[in-house]
Amino acid sequence: MIESKTLPTRYVTRPGEIKTSSGKTLRTDEMIINMGPQHPSTHGVLRLEIVVDGEIIVDVIPHIGYLHRCFEKHAEHMSNYQQVIPYADRMDYVAAMNMEHGYAVAVERMLKLEVPERVEYIRVIMAELQRIASHLIAVGTFGIDAGAFTPFLYAFHDREHILDLFEMTCGARLLYNYIWVGGLSHDLPEQFVDKCKEFCVYFKPRIKQFNDLLTYNEIFVKRCANVGVLPKDVAINYACSGPMLRASGVNWDLRRDDPYSIYNRFEWEPQVGKGEMGTVGDTWDRHIVRMREMEQSVKIIEQALEGIPAGNVQAAIPKKIRPEVGEIYARTETPRGELGYYVMSDGSASPFRVKARSPAFVNLSVLPEISRGGMLADLVLIAGSVDIVLGEVDR
């Protein structure tokens, strides 16, 4: 069962030598196993090459690229800046609204364009609804990684309500092409505000129910606490962002610290890991940060629904956008962390270069660092707590 292939030097730790009672040496060896790309808990097509010593993990090497779809090259070949948006959708397909939002913010900053009030409010509502939907998938699949199947379906049940709201607004349930440069594709339908308020009322007790079922479950806490601890400095050195970074105790949220859209008008708190069940920055902290962020998102949505003004949902912009020659880096906070778009313009109607800094890709790079020395079952949990979406990692 043991690979005869010679190991690259960086794997080699200590091939344990065990002495038998008669003085002979038994050489034990490490085993290399492949987790993925078709493994049930790699959340897509990630391949992890794992070096294990029994159940203990010696090293993990993530292999990515199975879902590479040339986003950046596609973007350069669009004849219009607006045409990039459906591709941005397909990067992080569980948080498509946030992907569009980031791109729209970047191009609008290039154009120095002010979008109507109403657009900003609707964008914030959509982005936060999407954040809840995305976090629901994250915590639900995290439950599956821990062996609990039921919470996953509870999460999906709630996510369904959000998708219904999206469907009502723009007709799509997964990839919306809703937030456009300079505005939105559709205005909100009439019943949206009431339906969305209903959802907020419905959803708050559901968070508590989910916490009772999974988050504070004794077994779950035992599994997650003190596992995959990501210390503050390591998190910063690896440029982690989003719930990954906040769970390690760094109070950093782009919605507050580098404000875009109208987030500075609402009252809400970025959530940080406090190490309630174990160490700051363990997998449980990452889980609870997502749970609490959902509560905060509901808070933002409720405020936005109250203040939503009437008006147009499309700024007056030409059909073919031609930004001045120049470049811009705009970043937004997606459910997975800092999404940056570096857009370069040569003055023509198609972007010269669009580079996406995807949060999950950066967060994934810390995986080997925090899973060494853990057990195989821990690795599954750690990978789950990073909350990767392979569409976004590979782009």
Partner 1 sequence: MDALDNLGVWGSVLVALVWSALPVVFILLYALVTLYMEMKVAAHMQDRLAYMRTGWHGTLQPFADILKLLQKEDTISSAADKKLFILAPYVVFMGTYAAFSAIPFSSIYIGSNIDLGAFFVVAVSSLVVVGILMGGWASNNKWSIFGAMRSAAQMVSYEIPTALAILIAVMITGSLNLQEVTKFQEGGIHNWLIFGGPLPLTQKLLLIPFTLVTFLILFIASLAEVNRTPFDLPEAESELVQGFNTEYSGMRFAMFYLAEYANMFLVSGVAVALFLGGWSSPFGSFLSGPVWGLFWFIGKGMVLVFLQIWIRWTLPRLRVDQLMYTSWKVLTPFMFACIFGVGLILVL
The binding site for partner 1 (CB under 8 A) comprises: 1, 31, 33, 39-41, 55, 143-150, 153-154, 157, 213-214, 217, 219-220, 222-223, 375-378, 380
Nearest residue (CB) to partner 1, 349 versus 375: 375
Nearest residue (CB) to partner 1, 143 versus 275: 143
| Measured torsion, CA atoms of residues 18, 23, 27, 28, in degrees rounded to the nearest 10 | -30
The distance of closest approach from Cβ of residue 15 to partner 1 in the complex, given in angstroms and rounded to an integer, is 18
Give which of 255, 92, 79 is closest to 175, Cα–Cα: 92
Nearest residue (CB) to partner 1, 122 versus 146: 146
The rounded distance, in Å, linking the Cα atoms of 383 and 385 is 5
* 33: β partners: 50
Q: Kindly give, in sequence order, each residue whose CB lies less than 8 Å from that of residue 355, ignoring residues fewer than 6 positions away.
A: 72, 341, 342, 343
Radius of gyration of the chain (CA): 23
The distance of closest approach from Cβ of residue 166 to partner 1 in the complex, given in angstroms and rounded to an integer, is 20
Q: Which amino acid is at 180?
A: W
Residue carrying the six token digits 């997650």? 224
Nearest residue (CB) to partner 1, 40 versus 259: 40
Nearest residue (CB) to partner 1, 160 versus 198: 160
The distance of closest approach from Cβ of residue 154 to partner 1 in the complex, given in angstroms and rounded to an integer, is 7
The distance of closest approach from Cβ of residue 153 to partner 1 in the complex, given in angstroms and rounded to an integer, is 4
Nearest residue (CB) to partner 1, 175 versus 376: 376
The distance of closest approach from Cβ of residue 120 to partner 1 in the complex, given in angstroms and rounded to an integer, is 35
The distance of closest approach from Cβ of residue 72 to partner 1 in the complex, given in angstroms and rounded to an integer, is 33
Count of CA atoms in the C-beta half-sphere (13 A) of 157? 11
Question: Buried b / exposed e across 347-384, counting CB within 10 Å, b at 16+?
Answer: eebbbeebebbbbbbbbbbbbbebbeebeeebbbbbbb
Nearest residue (CB) to partner 1, 150 versus 237: 150
For residue 243, the surrounding DSSP H or E stretch is: helix 243-247
The distance of closest approach from Cβ of residue 18 to partner 1 in the complex, given in angstroms and rounded to an integer, is 17
H-state helical runs in 211-241: 218-224, 232-237
| Measured torsion, CA atoms of residues 227, 62, 53, 277, in degrees rounded to the nearest 10 | 0
Nearest residue (CB) to partner 1, 31 versus 172: 31
Residue carrying the six token digits 């129910």? 209
387 exposure class (CB count in 10 Å sphere: 0-12, 13-18, 19+): buried
How many other C-beta atoms are found inside a 10 Å radius of the C-beta of residue 330?
Answer: 20
Nearest residue (CB) to partner 1, 70 versus 153: 153
The rounded distance, in Å, linking the Cα atoms of 175 and 283 is 29
The distance of closest approach from Cβ of residue 290 to partner 1 in the complex, given in angstroms and rounded to an integer, is 17
The distance of closest approach from Cβ of residue 44 to partner 1 in the complex, given in angstroms and rounded to an integer, is 14
